[in-house]
Chains A and B, each alone.
Chain A
C-alpha cells in the first residue's frame, strides 16, 4: 500500500485528536476540585441565614447583626426619615435601581422598594459601602442617612447613594418577617 492510498483524515489523525481531547477533559476534571475547594464551604454557607429579634427597636433606633461576615443594619425608621426618603426625586439618584434582593433586579429605587410592603418603617440593609467595602456610619452625612468615612460616600435615609465615589445603593438582602418581632435574613 503506498502512502497516497491512506485517506485524509486517516485513522491515526482520529486517534491523535481523540487522545488530545481525552487529555484536555482529564486535565479539566483534575483541575476542577482544586478550584472548587476555594469556593465558600458548607460551614460558611450554613451561616447564610440568621434570625434577629427586633422587638426592642423603637422608632429611631437600629441594631447591627453579622450576616455572611458582613454587618447588616436593621433600623426602625422615624416618620421624618421615611418622609425624607419618599420625597426624593428618582431622577436625582446616582443609582436608579432598588438593589433589593427581594424584588426584580430592575425595580426602581423608590423608598417603598427599599423596604418590605407594609413594613416601610423597617430598613434592612447590608451596611457595606458599595465603593470599596468600608462600613459607613449611621445617621450621619448631609442626608441624615449613612456616611462612609473612607472615601466620603453619602447615603440617604433609605440607604441610597447620594454623593461620593460609591457607584450603587447599599444592598438589601433577602429577608422576611417571620413574626411581628422577628426577621430572618438570608
Chain B
C-alpha cells in the first residue's frame, strides 16, 4: 500500500485548532475516507465491517441484559425467563444477543475462509492473520461462557464436558479443572466467574480488533488477485467505494439476522437449555453450540490410545491442535501465489476442506457411535492432512496459472470478457505512479 502523505485539510477554525492538538479527525479521515483500497474487492471483503457491527451489537445488547440478569445458580435461570416475559423488550434483546452470537460466528467463518481462499495470510500479512486467530480464540471462550449463563441443562453439561477437557492433562489436570470451576463440579462459583469473564472478554476482543485493523492499515488489504497494489490506478478511495459496498453487505447480512431473531429465534439453540440445570441428570445427547461442532467431532474422533497418550488426552490435543493449525498456516503454505484464483489444485483442495469442515460439524451433532465415529476419524484425518500435507506440498508441485501484471490489468481483462459493461475509465489509464 502506497504510504502517501495525509491529505486531510481541516476546513474550519475549530478543525485546525483540534488538528494541532489531537489529530483524531485526521486519523479517521485517513483511515476511513481517503484510505486507498484495491479496486477489485468483492463482497467477501465486506465481512470485516460486518464483524465490527456484530461485536458492537453483542456488547450493546449484552450490557443491557446484564442489567436484568442475576449471576447466581439459584436465580440465573429464572432471571433469564424474567427477561423473556417481564422486562420490556427483553425478549428481543435476548434473542438479538443469542442469535447475534451465532451470526457473529457465521461472519467470522466466512471471513476466515475468505482469508484461506485468497491467501490473505501470506507475507507481509502473517501478524494480521495471527491477530485474527487470537480474536477467534477469544470469541470461542466468550461464546462458551455466555452459553453457560442461562443455567439450562445444556449450559451445565456443556460446561462440565468442556472443563472436563482440562482434567485430561497429566499431573496438574485436576488442579487446573478445580481452578476453573472453583469447586469440584460446575456450580455457583463457576457461574459467577464465567459471568465476570464473559463481560470482560468482549473488551479484550475489541482491543485485539484495534491491533488487527492497525496491522491491516500498515500492510494494506489483499484482494481477489492476491497481487499487491502497484499504482494509484489499482485503488479507489475507501469512501465512498468501500463504505457503500460494506454498508450494502451489512444490510443484507442484518436482514438475514433479523429474520432469525424474529421468525426462528430458537432454531440455532437447543431445547434442553429451557430445562433448568440439574447436576444429577445428564441430557441424552450433549451437544455444544453449532459453531463448536466441528471441533467437538474432532474431540470425539480420537477413541484410541496413541502410544503413551490415552484416548481422552488424545482427543483434547487433537481438538486444540485443530485450532493451532490456523496459527501456523502462513508458514505451512509454501506457494508464492496468494490467490486460489490462480492455483487450480489449491482451489480444489480448499473446497474439499470446506466440505470437510461442514461434514465434521454435522458429525459433531450426531451421537458418537457406529459409522459416525469412523466418518469423524476420516474427516479429522483430512482436516489435519489439509494443513500438514496439502498446504506445504502443493506449493512445491503445483503450476499456478499466469498472473496478471497488476490489479488494473486483471480488472480490465475481466471486463473485456464480460462484454465491456464498464467503459475504460480515467482510472484505468496507463500507469501513473502515485
B182 interface hit (Cβ, 8 Å): yes
- Do B164 and A71 touch across chains, with their CB atoms under 8 A apart? no
Judge if A135 is at the interface, Cβ distance under 8 Å.
Answer: yes
Residue with the greatest number of chain A CB neighbours at <10 A, chosen from B164, B180, B284, B311: B164
Q: Are A41 and B312 in contact (CB under 8 A)?
A: no
Q: How many angstroms between the C-alpha atoms of A149 and B286 in the bound complex?
A: 10
A135 B185 Cβ-Cβ under 8 A: no
Residues of B within 8 A of A39 (CB): 178-179, 182
Expressed in whole angstroms, the minimum distance between the Cβ of A155 and any Cβ of chain B is 14
By a CB distance below 8 angstroms, the chain B residues around A38 are 179-180, 182, 193
Choice from A44, A64, A150 contacting B286 with Cβ under 8 Å: A150
Instruction: Report the separation of the CA atoms of residues A131 and B286 in the bound assembly, to the nearest whole angstrom.
Output: 13
Q: How far is the CA of A69 from the CA of B190 in the complex (A)?
A: 12
| Given known A-B contacts A41-B189, A44-B189, A69-B184, A131 and B312 have beta carbons under 8 A apart | yes
Once A38-B193, A64-B280 are accepted as A-B contacts, the answer to whether A132 and B182 lie under 8 Å apart by CB is no
Contact with A along B277-307 (1 / 0, CB 8 A): 0011110111000000000000010010000
Q: Does B183 contact A (CB under 8 A)?
A: yes
User: Is the CB of B157 closer than 8 A to any CB of chain A?
Assistant: yes
Interface of A is mostly: loop
A152 at the interface (CB under 8 A from B): yes
Contact at B281–A135, with CB atoms within 8 Å? yes
| A149 and B284 contact, CB distance less than 8 A | yes
- Measured CB to CB, the nearest residue on chain A to B313 is A167
User: Which chain A residue has the least Cβ–Cβ distance from B164?
Assistant: A133
In contact, A134 and B312 (Cβ under 8 angstroms): no
Residues of chain B with a CB closer than 8 A to A131's CB: 312
**Chain B, 305-338, contact with A by CB distance < 8 Å: what is the 0/1 string?**
0000011100000000000000000000000000
Min CB gap A147→B, angstroms: 12
CB contact between B279 and one of A70, A149, A167 (< 8 Å): that residue: A70
Structural contact, B281 and A41, CB atoms closer than 8 A: no
Q: Is the interface of B mostly helix, strand, loop or mixed?
A: loop
Over the window 61-84 of chain A, the binary record of Cβ atoms lying under 8 Å from chain B Cβ atoms (1 yes, 0 no) is 000101011110000000000000
**Contact in complex: A44, B182 (CB < 8 Å):** yes
Q: In the assembled complex, which residues on chain B have CB atoms less than 8 Å from the CB atom of A41?
A: 182, 189
Q: Are A165 and B303 closer than 8 Å at their CB atoms?
A: yes
Tell whether A35 is near chain B: CB-to-CB under 8 Å. Answer: yes
How far does the alpha carbon of A135 sit from the alpha carbon of B368 in the complex, in Å?
Answer: 17
With contacts A132-B161, A151-B368, A152-B369 known, is A40 near B183, CB below 8 A?
Answer: yes
Interface string of B174-210 (1 = CB under 8 A from A): 0000111111111101000100000000000000000
CA distance A133 to B168 in the complex (A): 12
Chain A residues whose CB sits within 8 angstroms of the CB of B311 once the complex forms? 165, 167
What is the 8 Å Cβ interface bit string for chain B, positions 10-43, against chain A (1 contact, 0 not)? 0000000000000000000000000000000000
B221 close to chain A: CB less than 8 A: no
A132 touches B164 (CB 8 A): yes
Min C-beta distance of A24 to chain B, whole Å = 22
Residue in chain B with minimal CB distance to A134: B282
B160 contacts the other chain (Cβ, under 8 Å)? yes
Are B310 and A167 touching (Cβ within 8 A)? yes
Contacting pair B279 A69 (CB below 8 A): yes
CB distance from A170 to the nearest CB of B (A): 14
Q: Which of A97-140 contact B (CB under 8 A)?
A: 131-135
Q: Is the pair B312, A40 in contact by a Cβ cutoff of 8 Å?
A: no
User: Which of chain A's residues have a CB closer than 8 A to the CB of B179?
Assistant: 35, 38-39
What CA separation (Å) do A49 and B161 show in the bound complex? 24
Picked from B160, B189, B280, the residue with its CB within 8 Å of the CB of A40 is B189
Candidates B157, B180, B183, B282; contact of A44 at CB < 8 Å: B183
- Which chain B residues border A151 with CB–CB below 8 Å? 300, 367-369
> Which residue of chain A lies nearest to B299 when distances are taken between CB atoms in the complex?
A132
Provide the residues of chain A in CB contact with B312, threshold 8 Å.
131, 165, 167
* Chain A residues with CB below 8 A from B180, complex form: 38
Task: Say whether, besides A44-B189, A165-B311, A150 and B282 are in contact (CB < 8 Å).
Answer: yes
| B161 partner, pick from A66, A69, A133, A152, beta carbons under 8 A | A133
- Judging by beta carbons under 8 Å apart, are A71 and B183 in contact? no
B156-174 interface code vs A (CB 8 A; 1 in, 0 out): 0100110010000000000
User: Complex: how many Å from CA A48 to CA B281?
Assistant: 21
Query: Known contacts being A38-B179, A38-B193, A167-B311, is A71 close to B279, with CB within 8 Å?
Result: yes
Q: Shortest Cβ distance from B166 into chain A, in angstroms?
A: 11
Instruction: Determine which residue in B160, B184, B303 has the highest number of CB atoms from chain A within 10 A of its CB, and name it.
Output: B184
B-side interface residues toward A, CB under 8 Å?
157, 160-161, 164, 178-187, 189, 193, 279-282, 284-286, 300, 303, 310-312, 367-369
Give 6 closest A-B pairs by Cβ, nearest first.
A69-B185, A68-B184, A134-B282, A135-B282, A133-B160, A132-B161
Can you list 20 A-B pairs, Cβ within 8 angstroms, ordered by A?
A38-B179, A39-B178, A39-B179, A44-B182, A66-B280, A69-B183, A69-B187, A69-B279, A71-B279, A132-B160, A132-B164, A133-B157, A133-B160, A135-B280, A149-B284, A152-B369, A165-B303, A165-B312, A167-B310, A167-B311
